[in-house]
Amino acid sequence: MPNPAKSWREIPQRYRLEAGKCTKCGAIAFPPRLVCPQCGNREFAATKLADAGKLLTFTIIRVAPGAFEDQAPYAAGIAELDDGARLTAQVVDCDFAKLKVGMRVRLEFRRVSEDGAAGVIHYGYKFVPE
């Protein structure tokens, strides 16, 4: 079981979608970084990701890693948010048959995993149909 520090550190991103916007080229870095992946600039303005977008691709995971076994099958996808940033997350509250490339989704706060029944609960974002 990892030290709680590892997931606690990601709270600003997992709870509030805090990101960085490059002051030179405008690229959005999520999570925030020290170096812009687009232009190499080192300065960023604090920003937050848009909370809705459209699915670029998705899948239904049926064979899951240990911590997610009870959730299987579950859908996951990559969405392009309305600010142009891309995000990977599970897709929930959607019948599998209704999943489509291009469908609109928004983000909701959900439990993502836990370190066992006695361990820390990890909260974060998931996609739901808009």
Among left, alpha and beta (phi > 0; psi -120 to 50; other), residue 116 is left
Q: Do the beta carbons of residue 96 and residue 76 sit within 8 Å?
A: no
Work out whether 39 is an interface residue with another protein (CB under 8 A).
no
- By beta-carbon proximity to another protein, the closer residue of 43 and 101 is 101
Prior bond of 73 cis (ω within 30°): yes
Residues that bind another protein (rule: CB under 8 A) add up to a total of: 50
Q: Do the beta carbons of residue 36 and residue 27 sit within 8 Å?
A: yes
Work out whether 10 is an interface residue with another protein (CB under 8 A).
yes
Which of 54, 68, 82, 83 binds another protein (CB under 8 A)? It is 68
Chain residues that interact with another protein, rule: CB under 8 A: 10-11, 13-16, 30-31, 37, 56-71, 74, 76-78, 86-90, 92-93, 95-96, 101, 108-113, 121-124, 126
